[in-house]
């Protein structure tokens, strides 16, 4: 989860960098920008395959909120980035930059707070495993 939220932060930083590229003609990009959606897919797959019935309901609700917010917010940016790379002159690029501006301006703190809540809930979880060998 910590790695997931690091990637979320990197995606927000990529939004800010993308706006600099758009607005500053002399901006030099020092590395390739990647809006990374893989950690979301990986986390969602692991979450679905986990014995979630063993997890506290409050934590499940917080994780659901985090995954839902991230997906709704970054999936259109992730898809728009692919369109921009394939066809830089597409009219769809205007919507892409509106999404990026929204990301850079508004939701970063909200999603960061959700991430902190998720991590706080996860740190509360503890389990005890008891082994009882079968008698012959």
Does the reported pTM lie above 0.85? no
In a domain, 133, yes or no: no
In a domain, 130, yes or no: no
User: What percent of the chain is modeled with pLDDT above 90?
Assistant: 0
Q: Which domain holds residue 111?
A: 2-124
Question: Residue-wise over 93-110: b if at least 16 C-beta within 10 A, else e?
Answer: beebbebbeebbeebbee
Measuring CA to CA, which residue among 94, 86, 115 is closest to residue 11?
A: 115
C-alpha angle with apex 24: 21 to 26, nearest 5 degrees? Answer: 95
In a domain, 100, yes or no: yes
The most confident of the ranges 6-10, 28-32, 42-46 is 6-10
Residue pLDDT, tens place only, 40-89: 788 778 777 877 777 778 777 877 777 787 788 788 888 888 787 788 78
Residue 106 confidence class, pLDDT cut points 50, 70, 90: low
In a domain, 27, yes or no: yes
In a domain, 132, yes or no: no
Measuring CA to CA, which residue among 103, 110, 107, 111 is closest to residue 6?
A: 111
For the segment 20-43, the average pLDDT, to the nearest whole number, is: 78
For the segment 11-15, the average pLDDT, to the nearest whole number, is: 84
Q: Is the pLDDT of residue 21 over 70?
A: yes
Q: What is the pLDDT of residue 136?
A: 65
Taking each helix axis from N to C end, the angle separating 92-102 and 2-23, rounded to the nearest 10 degrees, works out to 120
Number of structural domains in the chain: 1
Average pLDDT for the chain? 79
In a domain, 24, yes or no: yes
In a domain, 9, yes or no: yes
In a domain, 131, yes or no: no
């Amino acid at each position: 989860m910590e790695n997931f939220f690091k990637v979320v932060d990197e995606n927000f930083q990529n939004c800010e960098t993308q706006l600099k590229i758009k607005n500053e003609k002399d901006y030099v990009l020092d590395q390739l920008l990647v809006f990374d959606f893989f950690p979301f897919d990986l986390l969602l797959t692991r979450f679905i395959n986990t014995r979630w019935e063993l997890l506290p309901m409050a934590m499940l609700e917080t994780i659901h909120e985090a995954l839902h917010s991230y997906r709704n917010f970054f999936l259109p940016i992730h898809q728009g980035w692919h369109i921009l790379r394939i066809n830089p002159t597409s009219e769809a690029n205007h919507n892409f930059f509106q999404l990026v501006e929204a990301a850079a301006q508004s939701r970063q703190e909200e999603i960061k707070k959700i991430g902190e809540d998720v991590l706080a809930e996860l740190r509360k979880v503890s389990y005890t495993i008891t082994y009882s060998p079968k008698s012959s």
